[in-house]
Every structure is written in structure tokens, then in C-alpha cells.
Amino acid sequence: MSSESHRFDVGSYECIAISDGTFSYPQPTQNVFINFFVNAPEDRLRRVLRDYDVVPEQWREYVSPYICLVISDGRDHVLVDTGAGTIAPTTGRLIPNLESEGVSPEDIDTVILTHGHPDHIGGTVDDSGRPAFPNARYVMWKGEWDFWTSEPDLSGLGIDDHGKEILVKVATNALHPISDRLELIEREVEVTPGVRAISAPGHTPGHIAVSVVSDGAQLLHISDTALHPVHLEQPDWCSSVAFDSEEVTASRLRLFGKAASEKALVMATHFPFPGLGYVVESGEGWKWRPI
């Protein structure tokens, strides 16, 4: 398995987990590892992180994968999220990695944007500000689009003003150029046959997951419903960028329960590449079992 792309099948669909690169969240500006779990009781957090070989004081950076998904029936191509674009020297690998797999930007028929954060929409436009996938329609939850395109209220987020400015700037630059090729959804609909948008709010107001069902097989792409496998064990531990922590927890309970009971293959944008595995019941929560 390459660290840039990973092919797998879901029933009759051919899928590719494609890396857009990684992003390093360094010290000392913030302790991002802890920022993933801002409301966790400290002693309990230390105990849980020990299982992941993390000692908060010794931790210097957290390198997060940014992973996109391609779903194809052999003719049409659906892309889920567009990566971070040029936000960092280590991101923006999506298109070269797609081309290495024989998929050109022109081949993408549908782009599903799970939410409006920079690491999911940053690659929506090219260097000149034009849509990077010129033949695609772009699908997004209506509430998410409305939020990011009308002076979003980010006062509840636990990040500094500079971080908030980046969120708004990237959303403005990436979303307006696709407004003429946009399909906004307000219900859990099939975007293309077998590919369904699943409402999973909390991380952002209109964050969605994506399910792919074919020939009895199922993939559930949870996007940022969980940012780290610890969130499966502790579904009420939220990150500093969570828009509504109670909704985050409710969406996790719903999606993790569905994934476990239906034994679905699960994909998560920021889990170790290729971000694929299974959610298995463990005590009162769940655990991540990577493929």
C-alpha cells in the first residue's frame, strides 16, 4: 500500500483513498493533541493517551493526515472533499495523486463537500481561483453553505482570531467560485446511485457523512465526526473547533452505532492513512480497528 493512494472495492464500486498530504500542528502555539479533547478530564485523558504512547509534555507536534475519497462505478467519478490546497507546503497533493491513479480533474463528475473547513474545501479552486474540477457539480448541505457564505459566527470556537480569519478567508475563496455549479441538499438524499449524504452536524453546523452501498457492501465515510481514534472511545470529548459539542456527541453516537451494528467499512479523513477500518463495540464506547 502506497502512502499516497489506496484502492479498494465497495461492492461493484471502485474506490480510492487519496492523500492530499499531511499537516503538522506544532507546539508551542497550542497543544493540539489536547485541543482535540478540550473538555476531557485531565487525569482520564492522560490515561487514555498512554494507550496511544502519548505523554502530553513530551509531545512536540501532531502530524494529521488529510485524506480524500474517490468513488467510481467505472464511468462516473465522485470525489469526497478536495483537501487543503496550498494552505501548507505539505498539502495540495490531491490532484497529482489522482493523476497517478489515472484520474484527471476533468473526470470528476460530482464533488461532495462534507463541510466548509479549509482542509476539506481548500482544493476546490486552482491557483487562479477557478474550479479545480471543471466538469463537476458540487454538493453541500444547505445549512453549511449558508453558514460559511454569510458572515459566520465563530465566537464559540476555542481558537484565536487568526485561526478564525483563516477559516473565513478560505471559505470565501473556495466557495464563491463554485456557486454556479452548486447543488444544495437539505435531506439525506442519494447524491448518485448508492452514494448517500448522511446528516452528521456538530463539528460544523451542516457537516455530513457519506455512505456508499453496493451489492450488500457498505462504506461509511464519517469525515470529521471523529478527528482521532480516541473519539470512538470517548464520544463526548470534543475539539476546539467543534461548533456544537452536544451535536458532535449525538452524531458520533448515531454514526458509530450504525457502523458497528451494520459492520460497515469506515473511513475517517484524519485517521492514519488510508483512514479505513472498522468501528467495534468496546465497553460503553467503541474502538477503532484499522484495516
Per-residue string for binding with Zn ion, 168-207, x by CB under 5 A?
Answer: ----------------------------------------
Q: Which of 224, 226, 239, 260 binds Zn ion (CB under 5 A)?
A: 224
> Would you say 224 or 233 has its CB closer to Zn ion?
224
The CA-to-CA distance between both ends of the chain, in Å, stands at 11
Gap between the Cα atoms of 247 and 220, Å rounded: 19
Q: What sign does the dihedral 247-167-161-229 (CA atoms) show?
A: positive
Taking a C-beta distance cutoff of 8 angstroms, is the pair 101, 16 a contact?
Answer: yes
Number of residues located near Zn ion, criterion CB under 5 A: 2
Taking a C-beta distance cutoff of 8 angstroms, is the pair 211, 196 a contact?
Answer: yes
Q: Which of 4, 107, 119, 247 binds Zn ion (CB under 5 A)?
A: 119
Applying CB under 5 A, which part among 51-59, 117-125, 127-135, 283-291 lies near Zn ion? 117-125
List Cα–Cα distances, 47 to 191, 272, 289, in angstroms. 42, 21, 20
Task: Tell me the closest approach of the beta carbon of residue 222 to Zn ion, in angstroms.
Answer: 11
> Would you say 88 or 280 has its CB closer to Zn ion?
88
Gap between the Cα atoms of 268 and 257, Å rounded: 15
> Would you say 107 or 119 has its CB closer to Zn ion?
119
Applying CB under 5 A, which part among 55-63, 142-150, 212-220, 221-229 lies near Zn ion? 221-229
Phi and psi at residue 284, to the nearest 5°: -90, -5
> Would you say 20 or 119 has its CB closer to Zn ion?
119
Strand, helix or coil at 235? coil
Task: Tell me the closest approach of the beta carbon of residue 89 to Zn ion, in angstroms.
Answer: 18
The residues of the shown chain that bind Zn ion, judged by CB under 5 A, are 119, 224
